[in-house]
Each structure stands twice: as C-alpha cells, then as structure tokens.
Amino acid sequence: MESVYSVKKSSFNEWFARHNGLAFHGWVFHSGMLFLDTDKWWKKGEVRRRPHEGLDFCFYRTDGQISAIDGGTNIPVMYAGEILNIGGDFLGKSLYIGHGICDEKGNRLCTIYGHTKPIHDVGVGKVLNEGDVIAVVADERAHTTKIPPHLHVSAVWLPLSFPCKKLDWKILGNSSAATLVNPLDFITS
C-alpha cells in the first residue's frame, strides 16, 4: 500500500528485527489489531468502545512459523525526534515522541508507543535517532488482564502549538486538534 503522505517511510521493521536478533519476515495482524478496527483481538466476539486508534504488534512471521513478541522485546523509535511525554496506560507506560516532520498544514507528526517499560536513560526531552531503542514491551499486568504482551503504536498529526506536556490518551481521543492516522502509512513493508 502506498503512503498517502509525502514522508519517507520508517525502517521500523528492520530496526525491530536487528534490535531483537530476529529472522523477521513481517507482522501478522488479526481482526481488531489494525487502525480503526472495532473488534477486540484478545476476546473473540467482543467489540471495542471506540475504533482502535493505532496498531497492535504482537505476532510476526519468521522462517516458516508465526511467533509472538514477549515482555522484554526491544522497541525502536520510528523516526528521529524528542520524547514529549511519558504517561501510564493500562498495561505499562506510553511514550509520546515528536518528530521533525510536518504535513502541508504545518502539523507535526507524533508517534505513541504504548504498553511499554521505558529503558533506564529515557525521559522527557531526550533526543532520539531513528531506530534507537526507547523501551521494552511490558508484561507486568498481562497475566491479570489476559491480554498477551504486545506493542501498541499510534501516529497523530498535532499543531506545533499543541501543549505536548499534556499529551495522554484521553486528550488524543477527545481533541479536535489531533488527527490520528494509520501507522502502517509510515512503515516500510
């Protein structure tokens, strides 16, 4: 699928494979894992309260088999940028990263990595290079929620004036200034 944005696609998949030492041949997405899906992929037959605001990365193809990521899997950042905020989510922490990429309206691209455990030197204001490891997949609460460890990634266009220190899931879901977009549009296949 060709990106609808004139942004160089991220080598996220290559960085993911390299940082985790995997013979990675692509992601496997089930119903409910993709952008705007309404199903709960971890509970067959149930639906989400609102459409999914990103992607859930859990299953991937290797040499002839399908595997799942686990707690402790390294998470690379899609593009160079700066950590704008770190906040809690129901399975770990979410990292909000602002990138030096703007759309034709002057909005900045931000990516959000959810259900993580940030690495020790990551904090608000840290400047990152594309592919830097920012966190690992969290699994502390997965056993109580019955949701397998996975990485949630969202992409959003935000005005440069948006108060980034207040970024969180509630604001992103309710702000008319935030335009959520499909993260797959920014990742090479």
The answer to whether position 2 is within a domain reads: no
Please indicate, yes or no, if residue 189 is contained in any of the structural domains. Answer: no
Based on the structure, what is the number of domains in the chain?
1
Q: Is 7 part of any domain? A: no
Q: Which domain holds residue 137?
A: 12-184
Question: ∠ CA(156), CA(60), CA(52), 5° rounding?
Answer: 30
73 part of a folded domain? yes
Burial of 10 (0-12, 13-18, 19+ CB in 10 A): buried
How far is the C-alpha of 121 from the C-alpha of 170, rounded, in Å? 26
Residue 4 lies in a domain: no
pTM, two decimal places: 0.93
Asked if the structure places residue 6 within a domain, the reply is no
Going residue by residue through the chain, which has 189 residues, state the pLDDT in tens, using 9 for 90 and above.
344 567 899 999 999 999 999 888 999 999 999 999 999 998 888 999 989 999 999 999 988 899 999 999 999 999 999 999 999 888 899 999 999 999 988 899 999 999 999 998 899 999 999 999 999 999 866 566 678 899 999 999 999 888 877 788 887 777 788 899 999 999 987
CATH number reported for the structural domain that contains residue 132 in this entry: 2.70.70.10
Structural domain contains residue 1: no
Q: Is residue 72 part of a domain?
A: yes
d(CA 158, CA 109): 7
